Amino acid sequence: MDAGAPVPWWRIAVVYHVYVRSFQDTDGDGVGDLPGVLQRLDYLADLGVEAVWLSPFYPSPQRDFGYDVAEYRDVDPVFGTLADFDRLISQAHARGLRVILDLVANHTSSDHPWFVESRSHRMSAKREWYVWRDPHPDGGPPNNWLSFFGGPAWTLDPHTGQYYLHHYLPEQPDLNYRNPEVLEAMLEVMRFWLERGVDGFRVDSASHLVEDAHFRDEPPNPAWRPGMRERDRLLHVHTEHQPETHEVLRHFRTLLDRYSEPGRERILIGEVYAPNPILVSYYGTSESPECHFPFNFALVDLPAERWTAEDLKALVEAYESSLPDWGWPSWVLGNHDRPRVASRLGEERTRLAHFLLLTLRGTPTLYYGDELAVRDVEILPDQVRDLPGLREYGGRWSRDAARAPMPWDDSPGAGFTTGTPWLPLPPDFRVRNVVAQRQDPGSMLHLVRHLLHLRRQTPALSVGAYRSLPTPPGVYAYERFTDRERVQAVLNFSDRTRSVEAAGEILLSTHLDRFGRGRTPVELRPYEGILLRPSA
Residues at the interface with ligand GLC (CB under 6 A)? 64, 67, 104, 168, 204-205, 271, 336-337
216, 238 contact by CB (below 8 A)? yes
Q: Which amino acid is at 398?
A: S
Of residues 157 and 392, the one with the C-beta less far from ligand GLC: 392
The least CB distance from residue 51 to ligand GLC, in Å, is 18
Q: What does DSSP assign to residue 217? A: P
Of residues 17 and 313, the one with the C-beta less far from ligand GLC: 17
176, 129 contact by CB (below 8 A)? yes
Of residues 63 and 349, the one with the C-beta less far from ligand GLC: 63
C-alpha angle with apex 250: 114 to 90, nearest 5 degrees? 75
Rounded Cα distance, 270 and 338, in Å: 17
- Choosing from 171, 204, 392, 400, the catalytic residue is 204
The least CB distance from residue 56 to ligand GLC, in Å, is 8
174, 106 contact by CB (below 8 A)? yes
To the query of whether residue 212 is one of the catalytic residues in this protein, the response is: no
- Please report the sign of the dihedral spanned by the C-alpha atoms of residue 196, residue 202, residue 208, residue 210: positive
E-strand stretches of 132-199: 132-133, 154-157, 162-165
The least CB distance from residue 54 to ligand GLC, in Å, is 13
C-alpha angle with apex 212: 134 to 246, nearest 5 degrees? 140
- Choosing from 76, 174, 240, 271, the catalytic residue is 271
The least CB distance from residue 383 to ligand GLC, in Å, is 19
Rounded Cα distance, 199 and 365, in Å: 15
Of residues 331 and 367, the one with the C-beta less far from ligand GLC: 367
Of residues 172 and 510, the one with the C-beta less far from ligand GLC: 172
Mention every residue, 6+ apart, whose C-beta is less than 8 A from residue 214: none
Query: Environment class of residue 398 by beta-carbon count within 10 Å: exposed (0-12), middle (13-18) or buried (19+)?
Result: buried
User: Which residue lies nearest ligand GLC, judged by its C-beta?
Assistant: 67
To the query of whether residue 271 is one of the catalytic residues in this protein, the response is: yes
Rounded Cα distance, 179 and 162, in Å: 18
Omega before residue 180 within 30° of 0, cis? no
Of residues 29 and 337, the one with the C-beta less far from ligand GLC: 337
The least CB distance from residue 203 to ligand GLC, in Å, is 10
Give the catalytic positions in this structure: 204, 271
